[in-house]
Amino acid sequence: MRKAAILSYLAFSVFFLADAMAQNNEWRLVWHDEFEADGRPDSTKWTYERGFERNEELQWYTPENAFQRDGYLVIEARPADLPCPAYREGSKHWRNNRPRILWTSSSVKTRGLFSFRYGRVEVCARIPVCLGAWPAIWLLGDRGGWPACGEIDMMEYYQYQGRPTVLANACWAGDTDTKWDSSYTPLSHFTERDSTWAERFHVWRMDWDENAIRLFLDDELLNEIDLTLTVNGKMRGSGINPFHEPQYILLNLALDTRVGQYNPADFPMRYLIDYVRVFQR
Protein backbone atom coordinates (compact mmCIF):
# COMPACT_ATOMS: atom_id res chain seq x y z
CA MET A 1 0.00 0.00 0.00
CA ARG A 2 2.79 2.36 0.93
CA LYS A 3 4.66 1.64 -2.32
CA ALA A 4 1.45 2.10 -4.34
CA ALA A 5 0.81 5.39 -2.58
CA ILE A 6 4.33 6.56 -3.38
CA LEU A 7 3.96 5.59 -7.03
CA SER A 8 0.59 7.30 -7.18
CA TYR A 9 2.11 10.44 -5.63
CA LEU A 10 5.01 10.36 -8.10
CA ALA A 11 2.65 9.93 -11.03
CA PHE A 12 0.56 12.85 -9.83
CA SER A 13 3.72 14.97 -9.34
CA VAL A 14 4.94 14.21 -12.86
CA PHE A 15 1.51 15.07 -14.27
CA PHE A 16 1.39 18.30 -12.26
CA LEU A 17 4.91 19.25 -13.35
CA ALA A 18 4.17 18.52 -17.01
CA ASP A 19 0.97 20.52 -16.82
CA ALA A 20 2.78 23.45 -15.18
CA MET A 21 5.52 23.31 -17.81
CA ALA A 22 2.92 23.30 -20.60
CA GLN A 23 1.27 26.37 -19.10
CA ASN A 24 4.60 28.12 -18.59
CA ASN A 25 5.63 27.36 -22.17
CA GLU A 26 2.34 28.50 -23.67
CA TRP A 27 3.97 31.81 -24.62
CA ARG A 28 7.58 32.15 -25.78
CA LEU A 29 9.38 35.49 -25.52
CA VAL A 30 10.49 36.38 -29.06
CA TRP A 31 11.44 40.07 -28.74
CA HIS A 32 11.82 42.52 -25.90
CA ASP A 33 13.48 45.65 -24.63
CA GLU A 34 13.98 46.30 -20.91
CA PHE A 35 15.71 49.70 -21.41
CA GLU A 36 18.39 48.87 -18.85
CA ALA A 37 21.37 50.90 -20.14
CA ASP A 38 21.38 54.69 -19.85
CA GLY A 39 21.72 56.59 -23.10
CA ARG A 40 20.12 56.27 -26.52
CA PRO A 41 17.54 53.56 -27.30
CA ASP A 42 19.00 50.41 -28.84
CA SER A 43 19.50 51.17 -32.55
CA THR A 44 19.10 47.49 -33.42
CA LYS A 45 15.53 47.66 -32.06
CA TRP A 46 14.25 51.21 -32.56
CA THR A 47 14.24 53.89 -35.22
CA TYR A 48 12.52 57.30 -35.10
CA GLU A 49 9.80 59.30 -36.69
CA ARG A 50 11.01 62.78 -37.58
CA GLY A 51 9.34 66.13 -38.08
CA PHE A 52 5.62 66.90 -38.22
CA GLU A 53 4.00 63.50 -38.77
CA ARG A 54 0.18 63.43 -38.53
CA ASN A 55 -3.09 64.96 -37.35
CA GLU A 56 -1.74 68.52 -37.74
CA GLU A 57 -0.12 68.09 -34.33
CA LEU A 58 2.18 70.79 -33.03
CA GLN A 59 5.13 68.68 -31.84
CA TRP A 60 8.20 68.18 -34.02
CA TYR A 61 9.46 64.62 -33.55
CA THR A 62 13.18 64.37 -32.92
CA PRO A 63 15.38 61.51 -31.65
CA GLU A 64 16.85 63.73 -28.92
CA ASN A 65 13.61 63.56 -26.91
CA ALA A 66 13.84 59.77 -26.41
CA PHE A 67 16.44 58.45 -23.99
CA GLN A 68 17.00 55.67 -21.48
CA ARG A 69 17.52 56.52 -17.81
CA ASP A 70 17.30 54.48 -14.60
CA GLY A 71 15.84 51.45 -16.39
CA TYR A 72 13.17 53.32 -18.35
CA LEU A 73 12.67 54.64 -21.83
CA VAL A 74 11.75 58.30 -21.36
CA ILE A 75 9.83 60.10 -24.11
CA GLU A 76 9.77 63.79 -23.32
CA ALA A 77 7.69 66.64 -24.75
CA ARG A 78 9.29 70.07 -24.36
CA PRO A 79 8.60 73.67 -25.32
CA ALA A 80 10.96 74.99 -28.00
CA ASP A 81 11.63 77.96 -30.26
CA LEU A 82 13.57 76.70 -33.26
CA PRO A 83 13.59 77.45 -36.99
CA CYS A 84 11.58 74.81 -38.85
CA PRO A 85 13.61 73.04 -41.56
CA ALA A 86 10.37 71.99 -43.29
CA TYR A 87 9.11 75.57 -43.66
CA ARG A 88 8.30 76.70 -47.19
CA GLU A 89 7.20 80.30 -47.58
CA GLY A 90 3.76 80.51 -49.16
CA SER A 91 2.91 76.86 -48.51
CA LYS A 92 -0.60 76.10 -47.33
CA HIS A 93 0.27 72.60 -46.11
CA TRP A 94 0.40 72.26 -42.33
CA ARG A 95 3.75 70.46 -42.45
CA ASN A 96 5.39 73.31 -44.35
CA ASN A 97 3.68 76.54 -43.30
CA ARG A 98 5.09 76.84 -39.77
CA PRO A 99 8.28 78.95 -39.65
CA ARG A 100 9.06 77.97 -36.05
CA ILE A 101 9.02 74.76 -34.02
CA LEU A 102 7.31 75.53 -30.72
CA TRP A 103 7.21 72.01 -29.25
CA THR A 104 9.36 68.90 -29.58
CA SER A 105 8.75 65.28 -28.63
CA SER A 106 9.71 61.81 -29.82
CA SER A 107 8.20 58.77 -31.50
CA VAL A 108 10.13 55.49 -31.67
CA LYS A 109 9.24 52.52 -33.86
CA THR A 110 10.46 49.05 -34.77
CA ARG A 111 9.71 49.42 -38.47
CA GLY A 112 12.35 47.72 -40.61
CA LEU A 113 13.84 46.04 -37.55
CA PHE A 114 11.05 43.93 -36.07
CA SER A 115 7.51 43.07 -37.05
CA PHE A 116 5.36 40.05 -36.28
CA ARG A 117 2.02 38.40 -36.94
CA TYR A 118 -0.07 37.16 -34.00
CA GLY A 119 1.11 36.93 -30.43
CA ARG A 120 0.99 38.73 -27.11
CA VAL A 121 2.44 42.17 -26.47
CA GLU A 122 2.96 43.55 -22.96
CA VAL A 123 4.03 47.13 -22.32
CA CYS A 124 4.57 48.42 -18.80
CA ALA A 125 4.39 52.21 -18.68
CA ARG A 126 3.48 55.29 -16.70
CA ILE A 127 1.63 57.82 -18.81
CA PRO A 128 1.24 61.57 -18.39
CA VAL A 129 -2.40 62.50 -17.81
CA CYS A 130 -2.13 66.29 -17.80
CA LEU A 131 -4.14 68.46 -20.18
CA GLY A 132 -2.91 68.05 -23.74
CA ALA A 133 -1.00 64.79 -23.19
CA TRP A 134 -1.48 62.22 -25.97
CA PRO A 135 0.71 59.17 -25.26
CA ALA A 136 0.23 56.02 -27.30
CA ILE A 137 1.25 52.38 -27.68
CA TRP A 138 0.29 51.26 -31.16
CA LEU A 139 1.06 49.12 -34.19
CA LEU A 140 0.95 49.59 -37.95
CA GLY A 141 1.06 47.03 -40.73
CA ASP A 142 4.12 46.59 -42.92
CA ARG A 143 1.98 46.37 -46.04
CA GLY A 144 0.45 49.36 -47.81
CA GLY A 145 -0.49 52.86 -46.71
CA TRP A 146 -2.78 53.93 -43.91
CA PRO A 147 -5.48 52.90 -43.14
CA ALA A 148 -5.30 49.86 -45.44
CA CYS A 149 -2.18 48.68 -43.58
CA GLY A 150 -4.25 48.41 -40.38
CA GLU A 151 -3.68 50.18 -37.09
CA ILE A 152 -3.93 48.73 -33.57
CA ASP A 153 -3.98 51.18 -30.67
CA MET A 154 -3.13 49.21 -27.56
CA MET A 155 -3.32 52.51 -25.71
CA GLU A 156 -4.16 56.07 -26.48
CA TYR A 157 -4.89 58.66 -23.82
CA TYR A 158 -6.38 62.09 -24.46
CA GLN A 159 -9.35 64.34 -23.74
CA TYR A 160 -12.39 62.80 -25.41
CA GLN A 161 -15.56 64.88 -25.31
CA GLY A 162 -13.99 66.94 -22.55
CA ARG A 163 -13.09 63.96 -20.34
CA PRO A 164 -9.68 62.33 -19.80
CA THR A 165 -10.05 58.97 -21.55
CA VAL A 166 -8.12 55.76 -22.17
CA LEU A 167 -8.76 54.34 -25.65
CA ALA A 168 -8.24 50.89 -27.18
CA ASN A 169 -8.85 50.77 -30.94
CA ALA A 170 -8.25 49.22 -34.32
CA CYS A 171 -8.86 50.70 -37.76
CA TRP A 172 -8.72 49.59 -41.37
CA ALA A 173 -9.93 50.81 -44.78
CA GLY A 174 -13.54 50.84 -45.85
CA ASP A 175 -14.68 51.46 -49.41
CA THR A 176 -15.11 55.18 -48.86
CA ASP A 177 -13.96 55.89 -45.30
CA THR A 178 -11.82 54.59 -42.45
CA LYS A 179 -13.44 51.89 -40.33
CA TRP A 180 -12.88 51.97 -36.55
CA ASP A 181 -13.56 49.59 -33.69
CA SER A 182 -12.92 51.73 -30.61
CA SER A 183 -13.51 51.66 -26.87
CA TYR A 184 -13.47 54.73 -24.63
CA THR A 185 -12.91 54.27 -20.91
CA PRO A 186 -12.96 57.43 -18.76
CA LEU A 187 -9.84 57.85 -16.64
CA SER A 188 -12.18 58.16 -13.67
CA HIS A 189 -13.03 54.47 -14.09
CA PHE A 190 -9.51 53.75 -12.83
CA THR A 191 -8.86 56.69 -10.50
CA GLU A 192 -12.07 56.14 -8.53
CA ARG A 193 -10.65 52.76 -7.53
CA ASP A 194 -7.10 54.09 -7.02
CA SER A 195 -6.51 57.78 -6.45
CA THR A 196 -2.78 57.27 -7.15
CA TRP A 197 -3.39 55.55 -10.50
CA ALA A 198 -1.57 58.23 -12.51
CA GLU A 199 1.53 57.90 -10.35
CA ARG A 200 1.85 54.17 -10.99
CA PHE A 201 3.08 51.95 -13.81
CA HIS A 202 0.46 49.85 -15.56
CA VAL A 203 0.56 46.94 -18.01
CA TRP A 204 -1.15 47.27 -21.37
CA ARG A 205 -1.54 43.92 -23.14
CA MET A 206 -2.63 42.76 -26.56
CA ASP A 207 -3.56 39.14 -27.31
CA TRP A 208 -3.74 38.74 -31.10
CA ASP A 209 -4.60 35.59 -33.03
CA GLU A 210 -6.29 34.79 -36.33
CA ASN A 211 -9.74 35.32 -34.82
CA ALA A 212 -9.54 38.42 -32.64
CA ILE A 213 -7.47 41.20 -31.11
CA ARG A 214 -8.07 41.59 -27.37
CA LEU A 215 -6.78 44.71 -25.63
CA PHE A 216 -6.29 44.79 -21.85
CA LEU A 217 -5.20 47.23 -19.18
CA ASP A 218 -3.96 45.58 -15.99
CA ASP A 219 -5.79 42.39 -17.05
CA GLU A 220 -9.09 44.22 -17.58
CA LEU A 221 -10.44 43.68 -21.09
CA LEU A 222 -11.10 47.04 -22.75
CA ASN A 223 -11.87 45.96 -26.31
CA GLU A 224 -12.20 42.80 -28.40
CA ILE A 225 -11.99 43.20 -32.18
CA ASP A 226 -13.56 40.47 -34.30
CA LEU A 227 -11.20 39.89 -37.23
CA THR A 228 -13.95 38.51 -39.44
CA LEU A 229 -15.12 42.14 -39.71
CA THR A 230 -11.82 43.87 -40.49
CA VAL A 231 -11.41 43.21 -44.21
CA ASN A 232 -10.38 46.27 -46.23
CA GLY A 233 -12.86 47.57 -48.76
CA LYS A 234 -12.04 46.53 -52.31
CA MET A 235 -11.93 50.12 -53.54
CA ARG A 236 -9.15 51.13 -51.12
CA GLY A 237 -7.56 48.04 -49.68
CA SER A 238 -7.94 45.24 -52.22
CA GLY A 239 -10.06 43.09 -49.92
CA ILE A 240 -7.09 42.25 -47.69
CA ASN A 241 -7.47 41.73 -43.95
CA PRO A 242 -4.55 43.78 -42.56
CA PHE A 243 -4.69 42.02 -39.21
CA HIS A 244 -3.58 38.78 -40.83
CA GLU A 245 -0.35 40.56 -41.84
CA PRO A 246 2.77 41.53 -39.82
CA GLN A 247 2.74 44.71 -37.78
CA TYR A 248 5.44 46.81 -36.12
CA ILE A 249 5.37 48.73 -32.82
CA LEU A 250 5.35 52.48 -32.14
CA LEU A 251 5.63 54.42 -28.86
CA ASN A 252 5.08 58.17 -28.96
CA LEU A 253 4.02 61.22 -27.01
CA ALA A 254 1.99 63.71 -29.02
CA LEU A 255 0.39 66.99 -27.93
CA ASP A 256 -3.34 67.27 -28.42
CA THR A 257 -4.20 70.45 -30.34
CA ARG A 258 -7.89 70.22 -29.36
CA VAL A 259 -7.42 71.31 -25.75
CA GLY A 260 -6.37 74.91 -26.35
CA GLN A 261 -3.54 76.29 -24.28
CA TYR A 262 -1.15 73.96 -22.42
CA ASN A 263 -0.05 74.53 -18.83
CA PRO A 264 3.67 75.48 -18.81
CA ALA A 265 4.01 73.77 -15.41
CA ASP A 266 3.33 70.39 -17.08
CA PHE A 267 6.57 70.57 -19.09
CA PRO A 268 8.79 68.81 -19.65
CA MET A 269 6.05 66.20 -20.03
CA ARG A 270 7.38 62.67 -19.53
CA TYR A 271 6.09 59.29 -20.69
CA LEU A 272 8.02 56.41 -19.06
CA ILE A 273 8.15 52.87 -20.46
CA ASP A 274 9.56 50.11 -18.24
CA TYR A 275 9.54 47.32 -20.83
CA VAL A 276 8.12 46.09 -24.11
CA ARG A 277 7.77 42.30 -24.55
CA VAL A 278 6.44 40.25 -27.44
CA PHE A 279 5.48 36.59 -27.01
CA GLN A 280 4.32 33.98 -29.47
CA ARG A 281 2.99 30.48 -28.98
* pLDDT tens sequence across 118-154: 999 999 999 999 999 999 999 999 988 999 999 999 9
3-state secondary structure of 162: coil
Which residues have CB under 8 Å from 80's CB, separation 6+? 60, 101, 102, 103, 104
How many Å apart are CA 27 and CA 215, to the nearest integer?
A: 17
pLDDT value at 79 more than 50: yes
Find the helix or strand (DSSP H, E) in which 5 lies.
helix 2-24
The pLDDT tens digits for 201-244 are 999 999 999 999 999 999 999 999 999 999 999 766 678 999 99
What CATH number was assigned to the domain covering residues 29-280? Answer: 2.60.120.200
pLDDT value at 39 more than 70: yes
The per-residue pLDDT for 5 is: 42
pLDDT > 90 in the chain, percent: 85
> Cα 141 to chain center, whole Å?
13
pLDDT > 70 in the chain, percent: 90
The pLDDT tens digits for 47-71 are 999 999 999 999 999 999 999 999 9
pLDDT value at 10 more than 60: no
The per-residue pLDDT for 24 is: 55
How many Å apart are CA 247 and CA 184, to the nearest integer?
A: 23
The per-residue pLDDT for 21 is: 37
Task: Look up the pTM and report it.
Answer: 0.89
Mean pLDDT of 24-44: 93
The pLDDT tens digits for 253-277 are 999 998 888 999 999 999 999 999 9
What are the extents of the domains in the chain?
Answer: 29-280
